[in-house]
């Protein structure tokens, strides 16, 4: 391009520069993007440029009178994308995806959470737009854009393409096969930029939508062979030990294992759970494996032993799929199945998904008496929720499989003064400080619920399973968390903080012989463990988990972001750690497990995106689509 051509770009260059620098500042101040070298910092710095040059360059194809309006529109739109990611990242420590944007039915229930996440300084994200508008008004000659010749436009977009491929080439050198690591959004944003990442996300969404239409039963053969080859024999001594008993599951909102057996100002955070663990089987190396679907993802893991999606929530994106879920299996074995959760039935699309999974009944907000006095934060207080739920339990035929989802210990962790049983923590994180009183309140609610089960005559005939659904404190609060733990929160420690409580209580058995289990396990293992305790075989089931009591179980758990944990190692953010010390070690130690972690996530995604279970009836492939039957051997 000639010197005269560049002079025509003054206003466009200024607008691009302002948005480019703003984006980089947001990267450094609002996102916790790990930088390990000068080259990675350089890539982070340049990665917004190719998209901004391209999208602003499209103005050259518009009539002169429309160009500035287009530039302002693009500036506002890209700034809104940046703002949405900043607010989303503050709690989820993650970047937005297209499926999440379509989860609009959840927005009405977010309430105080969004208010808590918004900061007045966020308005500065739009300051460059105000400056550009002022220049347009005060310096119209500078803001005018002359017509470009066809040759000039061609030269401009060649430069844009060169910038893009230069960025992508550097990124591929730093992280080979970058675009295949779709589960690692931070890696994508760090290397190709927020805006290009969102375009890539749109491509992935289109691709995933096409997968179901193109799938057939042959897609399932390799996956089934992998699952069968990795299937583990359940524990003989405990198989069927709870046969015929009711199953009561308590999903503890945002509860992580670091609160167990800990205190605030000398007061126990979870006094009841601490005691209950002493009468139960307890797993202290049990990890949540949720993604963007949070609680709904933990439910999906529980009932299907499949991994949640890396983008969005299965409850929203694939509620019409065929699944072989726990409720459906238990119904075939004489169980009545239900969910009890005092929230709107449409939140996380539960009313649709529960029907798909085979639940008989969903006790939702209309089944409870909810008012201002008995509610806080996201809704009905846990003590009231459990109290009112006892009558619902008593109304059900036995044996039943009933899942309870608590609410009080939910971000932003609000609690009335009269309900606080321990002090807040003292740190620079308001979120972490308020977390402990709501955990303590939840603990008291569980204690009261167990007492009520005994009074109702339901306790002795039930197996009680308690598990944390997902993290409550994100990595954005690592400094404050380090103060509580008394050590720096490294990436290794962040993975260890993904441990959640898992308690199995069988009256008459575990209270006589409680046991602590420290082998690595995760929510993917809940389904086969529960079914084996009830004496139900999962030999022909399609699942990625194993009975946690099995002597053959492999000590391996993969998280939704691709991190994984074994007995000896933790792998996260492309770094291998010695689990016993937390020190970085040579990646060669983790390599034997890296392919397995990626393979399991990929296979599970294929099942969900392709709706592959529609081709499988539990023992053979179906013929209704014209595919040959392939019997299990």
To the query of whether residue 263 is one of the catalytic residues in this protein, the response is no
Residue 294's CB is within 10 A of a number of other CB atoms, namely 21
Tell me 349's DSSP state.
Answer: G
Q: How far apart are the first and last CA of the chain?
A: 68
Rounded to a whole number of angstroms, the CA Rg of the chain reads 27
Query: How many whole angstroms separate alpha carbon 312 and alpha carbon 534?
Result: 32
Alpha-carbon separation of residue 239 from 169, 299, 521, 532, 549 (angstroms): 54, 23, 18, 5, 9
Q: Would you mind telling me the total number of residues written for the chain in this entry?
A: 633
Task: Name the residue among 23, 499, 573, 497 with its Cα closest to residue 286.
Answer: 499
Please work out, in degrees rounded to the nearest 5, the angle formed at the alpha carbon of residue 430 by the alpha carbons of 427 and 434. 100
Residue 594's CB is within 10 A of a number of other CB atoms, namely 16
Task: Name the residue among 33, 59, 299 with its Cα closest to residue 160.
Answer: 59
Task: Name the residue among 570, 601, 600 with its Cα closest to residue 587.
Answer: 570
Q: With beta carbons less than 8 A apart as the criterion, state whether 443 and 262 touch.
A: no
Which tokens sit at 20?
């480019």
Task: Name the residue among 527, 521, 516, 529 with its Cα closest to residue 559.
Answer: 521
251 beta partners: 405, 467
Tell me 471's DSSP state.
Answer: -
340 beta partners: 363, 404
Tokens 């939140």 correspond to 347
* SS3 state at 362: strand
Query: How many whole angstroms separate alpha carbon 336 and alpha carbon 397?
Result: 6
Which tokens sit at 491?
């990436």
Q: With beta carbons less than 8 A apart as the criterion, state whether 565 and 287 touch.
A: yes
Q: With beta carbons less than 8 A apart as the criterion, state whether 104 and 348 touch.
A: no
Catalytic residue among 97, 182, 295, 529: 295
Task: Name the residue among 633, 617, 610 with its Cα closest to residue 542.
Answer: 617
What ranges make up the beta strands (E) of 237-320? 246-252, 263-264, 267-268, 281-283, 286-287
Task: Name the residue among 501, 469, 101 with its Cα closest to residue 300.
Answer: 469
Query: How many whole angstroms separate alpha carbon 272 and alpha carbon 438?
Result: 14
Query: How many whole angstroms separate alpha carbon 305 and alpha carbon 321?
Result: 15
User: Which positions are catalytic?
Assistant: 295
């Amino acid at each position: 391009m000639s010197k005269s051509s560049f002079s025509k770009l003054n206003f466009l260059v200024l607008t691009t520069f302002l948005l480019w620098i703003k984006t980089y500042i947001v990267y450094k101040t609002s996102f916790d993007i790990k930088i390990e070298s000068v080259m990675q910092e350089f890539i982070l710095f340049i990665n917004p440029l190719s998209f901004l040059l391209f999208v602003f360059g499209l103005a050259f194809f518009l009539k002169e009178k429309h160009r500035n309006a287009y530039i302002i529109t693009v500036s506002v739109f890209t700034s809104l994308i940046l703002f949405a990611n900043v607010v989303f990242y503050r709690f989820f420590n993650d970047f937005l995806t297209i499926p999440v944007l379509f989860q609009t039915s959840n927005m009405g229930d977010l309430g105080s959470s969004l208010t808590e996440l918004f900061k007045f300084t966020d308005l500065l994200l739009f300051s460059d737009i105000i400056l550009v508008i002022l220049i347009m008004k005060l310096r119209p000659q500078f803001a005018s854009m002359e017509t470009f010749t066809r040759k000039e436009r061609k030269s401009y977009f060649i430069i844009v393409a060169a910038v893009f491929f230069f960025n992508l080439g550097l990124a591929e050198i730093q992280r080979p096969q970058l675009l295949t690591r779709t589960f690692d959004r931070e890696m994508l944003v760090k290397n190709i930029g927020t805006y290009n990442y969102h375009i890539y996300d749109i491509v992935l969404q289109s691709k995933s939508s096409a997968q179901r239409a193109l799938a057939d039963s042959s897609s399932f053969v390799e996956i089934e062979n992998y699952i069968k080859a990795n299937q583990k024999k359940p524990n003989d001594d405990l198989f069927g030990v709870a046969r015929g008993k009711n199953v009561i599951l308590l999903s503890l909102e945002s509860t992580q294992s670091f609160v167990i057996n800990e205190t605030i100002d000398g007061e126990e955070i979870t006094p009841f759970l601490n005691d209950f663990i002493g009468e139960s089987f307890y797993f202290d190396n049990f990890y949540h494996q949720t993604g963007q679907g949070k609680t709904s993802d933990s439910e999906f893991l529980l009932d299907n032993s499949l991994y949640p999606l890396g983008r969005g929530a299965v409850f929203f994106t694939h509620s019409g799929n065929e699944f072989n879920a726990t409720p459906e299996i238990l119904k075939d074995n004489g169980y009545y199945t239900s969910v009890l959760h005092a929230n709107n039935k449409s939140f996380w699309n539960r009313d649709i998904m529960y029907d798909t999974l085979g639940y008989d009944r969903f006790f939702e907000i209309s089944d409870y008496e909810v008012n201002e006095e008995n509610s806080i934060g996201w809704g009905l207080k846990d003590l009231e929720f459990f109290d009112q739920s006892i009558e619902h339990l008593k109304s059900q035929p036995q044996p039943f499989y009933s899942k309870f989802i608590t609410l009080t210990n939910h971000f932003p962790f609000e609690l009335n003064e009269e309900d606080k049983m321990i002090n807040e923590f003292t740190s620079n994180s308001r979120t972490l400080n308020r977390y402990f009183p709501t955990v303590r309140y939840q603990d008291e609610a569980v204690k009261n619920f167990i007492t009520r089960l005994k009074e109702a005559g339901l306790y002795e005939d039930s197996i009680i399973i308690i598990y944390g659904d997902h993290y409550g404190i994100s990595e954005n609060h690592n400094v404050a968390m380090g103060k509580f733990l008394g050590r720096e929160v490294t990436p290794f420690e962040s993975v260890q903080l993904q441990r959640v409580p898992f308690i199995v209580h069988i009256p008459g058995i575990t209270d006589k012989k409680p046991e602590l289990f420290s082998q690595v396990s995760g929510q993917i293992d809940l389904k086969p463990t529960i079914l084996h305790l009830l004496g139900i075989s999962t030999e022909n089931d399609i699942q990625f988990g194993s009975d946690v009591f099995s002597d053959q179980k492999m000590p391996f758990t993969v998280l939704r972001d691709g991190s994984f944990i074994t007995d000896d190692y933790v792998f996260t953010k492309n770094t291998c750690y010695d689990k016993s010390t937390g020190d970085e070690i040579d990646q060669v130690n983790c390599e034997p497990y890296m392919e397995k972690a990626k393979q399991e996530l990929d296979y599970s995604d294929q099942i969900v995106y392709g709706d592959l279970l529609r081709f499988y009836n539990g023992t053979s492939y179906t013929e209704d689509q014209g595919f040959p039957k392939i019997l299990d051997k």
